[in-house]
Amino acid sequence: MLSFVKNYMDSISGIEIYPILSLLIFFGFFVVLFWWVLTAKKDYIDTVSNLPFENDNHQTENQL
């Protein structure tokens, strides 16, 4: 089965660019994500990290 797919892919012209593009997109995404994490403001990180707790407190108050 794998040899069939390999032989079929070899017959398509220009297909060798797709693995390179996939790797560049994958690498680019993680570089941008790493840059965002390093430059994110501490206040924003604290606010976002406390959101689940604020929602839980709000639901508890409604149940009382």
Q: What is the per-residue pLDDT across 3-59, written as a single tens digit (0 to 9) for each?
A: 887 788 888 888 889 989 999 999 999 999 999 999 999 998 888 888 887 765 555
pTM of whole model > 0.75?
no
pLDDT at 33: 96
Sign of the four-CA dihedral 43, 47, 49, 50:
positive
Give me the half-sphere count of Cα atoms (radius 13 Å) on the Cβ side of residue 9: 11
- Work out the pLDDT band at 60, boundaries 50, 70, 90: low
- CA 25-40-45 angle, to 5 degrees, is 115
* Domain locations along the chain: 2-63
